[in-house]
Amino acid sequence: MNPWPFVIAAYSVAIALTIALLLWSFASMRRAEAAADALRRK
Amino acid sequence: MHALANPARFLRFARPATGWLLLIGLALAVAGMAAGLALTPPDYLQGETVRILYIHVPSAWLGMAGWAGIAGASVSQLVWRHPLAAIAGRAVAPAGATFAAICLITGSIWGRPTWGTWWEWDGRLTSMLILFFLYLGYIGLASAERERGGEGRIAALYGLVGAINLPIIHYSVLWWRTLHQGESIGITGSSIDNSILWPLPLTMVGFTCLFGAAALMRMRAELAEAKVEARMRRLGA
């Protein structure tokens, strides 16, 4: 059994989920902080 | 901990820390994964699949550390009524759930060529799956409690009770000697050869920094949302 497809699949899942977590956290932070700033400026 | 109880003081620390954790985490995780894929030799028994170790072990550590963080935040909330404890618990949970999922998926992918099966109801695998479901339960419970205007005490109690699963995961390979191998990396040493082991600290520290960055970003988001809600309430009153 060729092990490389398994290795590549495992790394792909780990990288994709980590990037998704970071992007979601970043986007929700930027959105919330922008809303708070906009409200303060009013 | 109490020095950071003031949200303004916490944000003065969190804003620069988020960027540094992201930068250091990305650099170390990428370096560790590249080294693990290209520079280390294959294992004499597992062959090339041993390379999954460099992502599986950090994700297992972070899945468990995340719940330890939730338990710590729960104690802090219930005992000292730390104002940021409930926010910290809610912020850590998505990151913990993500890394618990990565641990389960990468372990399953490693198991197919090594054990000949994607899944086995082994003590370690099952207790890790329970941890993942505990995270989902915590996320649902904490957000429902927040929407109802609660202080998060029920979620904090759930976080404490769920911590019982942590020693079960840790000792599962000793209590039930089934498919998952015993402890190969301990505080005092490792049974893995250094030629294979050396990139692991890079990915361990790297992914831990990324976990920290994700948790800090979620805490900042929650604090900003709370600020908006308080402002809207004042405007409505």
The CA distance from A41 to the nearest CA of chain B, in Å, is 12
pLDDT for position B183: 75
Measured between CB atoms, does A8 come within 8 Å of chain B?
Answer: no
Chain A residues with CB inside 8 Å of B49's CB? 3, 6-7
Chain A residues with CB inside 8 Å of B207's CB? 18
Q: What is the mean pLDDT of residues B29-51?
A: 94
Measured between CB atoms, does A24 come within 8 Å of chain B?
Answer: yes
Chain B residue closest to A39 (CA)?
A: B228
Condensed to tens digits (0 to 9), the pLDDT of residues B176-210 reads 877 787 777 777 777 788 889 999 999 999 999 99
Q: How far apart are CA A32 and CA B218, in angstroms?
A: 10
Q: What is the mean pLDDT of residues B101-112?
A: 97
pLDDT for position B237: 63
Chain A residues with CB inside 8 Å of B146's CB? none
Nearest CB among B55, B112, B228 relative to A36 is that of B228
Q: What is the pTM of this model?
A: 0.93
pLDDT for position B1: 58
Q: How far apart are CA B155 and CA B144, in angstroms?
A: 9
Nearest CB among B22, B33, B227 relative to A11 is that of B33
ipTM of the modeled complex: 0.94
The answer on pLDDT for B76 being more than 70 is: yes
* Residues in CB range of B7: below 8 A, 6 or more apart: B83, B84, B223
Buried b (16+ CB within 10 A) or exposed e, B40-73: beebeebebbbbbbbbbbbbbbbbbbbbebbbbb
Percentage of residues of chain A with pLDDT beyond 90: 81
Residue B3: pLDDT band with limits 50, 70, 90: low
Cα–chain center distance at B171: 18
Condensed to tens digits (0 to 9), the pLDDT of residues B153-165 reads 999 999 999 999 9
Contact flag B217-A25 (C-beta cutoff 8 Å): yes
Chain B residue closest to A31 (CA)?
A: B221
Condensed to tens digits (0 to 9), the pLDDT of residues A1-42 reads 899 999 999 999 999 999 999 999 999 999 999 999 888 777
Q: What is the mean pLDDT of residues B135-156?
A: 92
pLDDT for position B150: 80
Q: How far apart are CA B2 and CA B10, in angstroms?
A: 10
pLDDT for position B181: 76
Q: What is the mean pLDDT of residues B84-89?
A: 94
CB-based contact B145:B87 (threshold 8 Å)? no
pLDDT for position B4: 67
